[in-house]
Amino acid sequence: MFDPPSPADMIAQVRAAMAKDISDNFAQKVAANAMSIAERQIASADAADAAEMQRLGELLDGQGELEEMNRKLCEAIRNGDIAMGDAQLETHLIATTLQKIAVDQPGYAAYRRYLEDIGRA
Amino acid sequence: MNPQADAAVDLADILTKAAVVAGMEPRDIGGVKQLSGGASSEVWAFDLATDDGIMPLVLRRQPAQQRFSSPGPMTLSTEAQVMRAAKNAGVPVPHVLFELPEDLQAGEGFAMERIEGETIGGRILKLPELAAARGAMTQQCGEILATLHKADVGSVQLDLENVGPQEALAALEQRYRDTGQARPVFEYALRWLADNLPDDDRRVLLHGDFRNGNLIVGPQGIRAVLDWELAQVGPPAYDLGWLCVNSWRFQNPHLPVGGFGSREELLAAYQAEGGAVFGLEELHAWEVFQTMHWGVICAGAGKSFEDGNRSVEGGVIARRASETEFDLLRLLMPDSETWHV
């Protein structure tokens, strides 16, 4: 599950900004970044969401909409229903976060260094 | 009709009057130039000539019209007082020369000395002429924070927030819940913090946003510390933890302190200068806290966007929350095999 704003909202906001004035160099770069995020999410969200849904189904032993399942997972962590150090939880959190940052900010220095370290840069 | 030129002339007049009220003898105000203008405050550069010479200065101002529109964490007047207190304690801070008197009806603000140097984090880490500075800055950060934290909080006499670790954690959790977002990584971090954030009775004057990005740096290192608007009173590790957050290491994630130094060197310098005693474990816990803290700020930008406060920049900042989720998992489960799958 990706964070707000949605790709549609990002694109709409860039469009609105361009209609006014986006001649400032910094504003252009920020807009290009926003468009890249939307572009990457459109390309990968279906597969990422499906994988996340699969893992959540196994973790929580149930089904539901992605947001609902995430709320249930939050409750389970908050209540202590899932133990800290649970390997399946760790795997889920890491896998989900790696998919998120690949869309949100693939150039984040620590993430790039991580990819280099595991030979996947 | 040139609105910008008119504004500059009006401002020069205001600044002259304010300097006089403060007991100065301004002969001329020149070079009035707006450096930035956010939604709630403006920054201007100007030169003030007296018989002793020309002083390059900066004005921070919140225009009168905006006074009631956004409360913000701190008034500019309080910020000026904090800066004076920090400077009196021995911290390198731009000298505050005067405030804008209320009866000028020119808004709230203060003028401080304009210090040359580099402030952009990524540039501080790569400019060749700052190589020696990078070598000295970790030590300097430790010394500066120790000096600040030794300031007599009672004598500062400011109405600053005073928050201990458990209250800070409760506030962080509330701020996350106020976004309305379901974030399992933040839930996990909160549980870890509940189990691992140590109690600490010590309360010191904190900068509140001490990081690479709020420092003026020259070839010898840190010249001044900027942006005191988040100053508060709390446990000392709060400032050191924030300094180590990965987001402020820019292109050098492997150097925990601002992208230029090690935690060990920071702690050693801090404690050698008389700073509070605590170890790497406590620093680690506060680094986790402060990483989530930055993440919640980013998540808040997403909530704000959803609530109708829309900008491209806000949307992009909202998408930085995941960098903190990545950093939290690297801190909290570094040995999971899933990193290598």
Tell me the average pLDDT across B328-334: 98
pLDDT digits (tens, 9 = 90+) for B24-58: 999 999 999 998 876 668 899 999 999 999 999 99
Q: Which of B25, B41, B42 is nearest to B33 (CA)?
A: B42
Percentage of the residues of chain B whose pLDDT score is greater than 70? 95
Largest CA distance in chain B: 70
Q: Which residue has the higher pLDDT, A42 or A24?
A: A42
Say whether pLDDT at B70 is over 60: no
* pTM of the full structure: 0.95
CB contact under 8 A, B321 and A111: no
Judged by CB atoms closer than 8 Å, whether chains meet at A104 and B319 is answered as: yes
Mutate: best of B186, B187, B192, partner A, most A CBs <10 A? B187
- Residues 209-268 of chain B with CB under 8 A from chain A are 246, 249-254
Question: A33: which chain B residues are within 8 Å (Cβ-Cβ)?
Answer: 316
pLDDT in tens, B265-309: 999 999 999 999 999 999 999 999 999 999 999 999 999 999 999
Residue among B253, B302, B339 whose CB faces A5 most closely:
B302
Q: What distance in Å separates the CA atoms of residue B48 and residue B27, rounded to the nearest whole number?
A: 8
Whether B336 contacts chain A with CB within 8 A? yes
Q: pLDDT digits over B198-250, tens only?
A: 999 999 999 999 999 999 999 999 999 999 999 999 999 999 999 999 999 99
**Confidence band, pLDDT 50/70/90 cuts, at residue A121:** low
Instruction: State the alpha helices, DSSP H only, in A80-120.
Output: 87-104, 109-117
Contact between residue A10 and residue A35 where contact means Cβ atoms under 8 Å apart: yes
- Tell me what the pLDDT averaged over chain A comes to: 96
Torsion of CA A74, A77, A79, A84, to 10 degrees: -170
**Contact by Cβ (8 Å): B323, A105:** yes
Residue linked to tokens 């021995």: B90
CB-based contact (8 Å) between B338 and chain A?
Answer: yes
